[in-house]
Amino acid sequence: MTHLSSSEGSWEPGARVAGLLFLDFEGAPANPDEVISEGLDGGYRDRTEELADVLRDLDEGPWSRFLACLALTRWADEAYDAVAEAARTPELVPWRGVSYDRFHSQDDTFWLLADAVGDSDDMVEERGTGTERLQAVRALLAIADRVQFDRRIGALLRRDLVVDNLADIQAVVDLGIVRLAKEQLSLDVLVRSGDRIEYGVQLKDVDSASSLKSATRGIAEKQLLGQIDGQKVAILDVHDIKAALTDKILGLVAHRARLTNATFVLRFEDGSITVPANGPTYP
C-alpha cells in the first residue's frame, strides 16, 4: 500500500481532490491511504475518470495532481504514463517537494510513486496495463542514482520486475558506482567533455621533501581516490632540493601513485621527478 501516513506536506488539496480522496465511498471523512486501499475493491471505477481530469488539469495545485497520480497509479490506471514522464525530468516536476518524509525531511514523492507502481501488480491484469507498468518501472529505475528512493526502491525489485529489468538495474547500479567514485575526488583543475572528466589535477604546496609523506597521503586517501574517465595528475611544488628525497619516501609516493592510478609530479627547486617515470601528465 501507499504510505502517506509517514509523510508530511504543507499543501492543501483542491476541492475536487478533497471530495475524491478525503471522503470514503460512503461519504465519510477519510485519508487518501484509506480511500486508495478501499478503491481496490472496485470503488476506483467511480473516481478514476475525475482523478484523471485532475491529473491532466494544469490549473490544479501540485498537491492535488500528485495525489491523483498516486491513486491512479496504485489502481493501475493511465497514470503510469505520467510517472514515466515525470521520471524523464524529475527536477522539473511541479509536484516535487509537495510531500516529504517526516523522519528524514526528504522529498518522498518518488518514493511513494515507486511504492504505488510496485504494489499495483495485483491490478494490472484486471486493468490490462502490464506494459505501461513495466515502462514506469524502467523509467523510475533509470533515475535511481539521482533521486532518493530510500528503502522504497525495493518495491521496484520484485521477482517479476527484476527478471524483466535486469539490464536496466545493472545499468543504474553502474551509474551509481561511477557517481560515488567521482564524489571521492577533489580537483583543482579539470577538463570536461560533456559529462566525462578527461583530465583532473590536484595541486599542492609542500614545505619539504619529508612533508611528502603526509601530503601524498591526503591525496591518495581523499582527493584522487575516485575514478575519472581520463588522466589524474597530482602536482606538488616541494620547497626543497631533489637530494632531500629519500628512497623510502620515493617508494611511498610510487605506492600511492599506483593506488590512485595517477601520476605524481614532484617539482623541486632544482628540478622535477615524475612518478611513475613514464606517467602521462597532460591530456
In tens, the pLDDT along 224-283 reads: 766 667 788 889 999 999 999 999 999 999 999 988 888 999 999 999 999 999 888 876
Beta-carbon contacts of residue 233 (< 8 Å; ≥ 6 apart): 199, 200, 201, 202, 262, 263, 264, 265, 280, 281
Residues 144, 139: Cα–Cα separation, whole Å: 9
Task: Quote the pLDDT of residue 188.
Answer: 64
Q: Residue 138 — φ and ψ, nearest 5°?
A: -65, -40
Rg of the chain over all Cα atoms, to the nearest angstrom: 27
Segment among 36-45, 79-88, 170-179, 207-216 with least mean pLDDT: 170-179
CB contact at 8 A, 55 and 79 = yes
Q: Spell out where the chain has E strands.
A: 7-8, 100-101, 106-107, 189-193, 196-206, 231-238, 263-268, 271-275
| Averaged pLDDT, 25-38 | 94
Task: Quote the pLDDT of residue 252.
Answer: 93
CB contact at 8 A, 172 and 145 = yes
Per-residue confidence at 141, pLDDT binned at 50, 70, 90? confident
Task: Quote the pLDDT of residue 26.
Answer: 92
Element (H, E) at 176: helix 166-183
- Number of neighbours of residue 68 by Cβ within 10 angstroms: 32
DSSP state of 13: P
Task: Quote the pLDDT of residue 165.
Answer: 59
Q: Enumerate the domain spans of the chain.
A: 4-180, 185-275
Query: What is the maximal distance between C-alpha atoms in the chain?
Result: 89
